[in-house]
Amino acid sequence: MRQRIAELREEERRRLRARPELALRHEMTMFVHGCALLAFGDEGGSGLVASFRKVLALLGDPAQHRTGSRFERTSLDCVDRLRACDQLAEAAADPQRHAARDEAAAEPFTRIPQRVFVGRATPDAHFPLACHNAAGSLRDEVITPYRACLLITSAGHFEPAEERDLLTTMRTLRTRYEDHPSNRPTTATTITRELRTWSDGG
């Protein structure tokens, strides 16, 4: 089992290395996911400031692939709103900042992405933020179905009430994908369908 999971994760890394034009979108995906995890204490503010800095550095790269999708526009709007925060602008501009000061600067990460993607900045918005991020990135073909599954299951610590069915489904599909290699194409299709249905409102 461990070997199969390690192989799957290496396959994901190889895919990213082969698609350098997706660096911006992938970094945005992981940054937004980190914003969801920050509220759970699974991500540090300093790491998120570093990730935000990478997103900003890639924004002006003309080689980066843009889909023009609604989700991409939402992601870019989120970055713009965060960039307008004085404490983040200062942190992102200086890679030599002390980690403790980055932690203090990271407060907007627990508020702005939640409001942009979910429509509210309440304690119950962090898990749906992770779900919307995974579903949108999968729809734009930035991440694979398996990666989308991992992002959702890794953020489902507190058994969220509204998204509990989705979390249960993703946990089941993740296990199926990892345990049954011959059925992975079918499982990937199921993951994609389930997340598209959820993000479209059922």
Residue 57 CB partners (closer than 8 Å, separation 6+): none
- Centroid of chain to Cα 166: 16
Tokens 């602008």, residue located: 89
CB atoms within 10 A of CB 16: 14
pTM as predicted: 0.90
Q: How many domains does the chain have?
A: 1
Choice between 40 and 154, residue whose per-residue pLDDT is larger? 154
Residue of 154, 158, 144 whose CA lies nearest to 191: 144
**40 pLDDT tier (thresholds 50, 70, 90):** confident
Structural domain boundaries, residue 56: 2-199
Write out pLDDT tens, residues 72-95. Answer: 999 999 999 999 987 777 666 666
From the CA atom positions of the chain, what is the Rg in Å? Answer: 17
CB atoms within 10 A of CB 4: 13
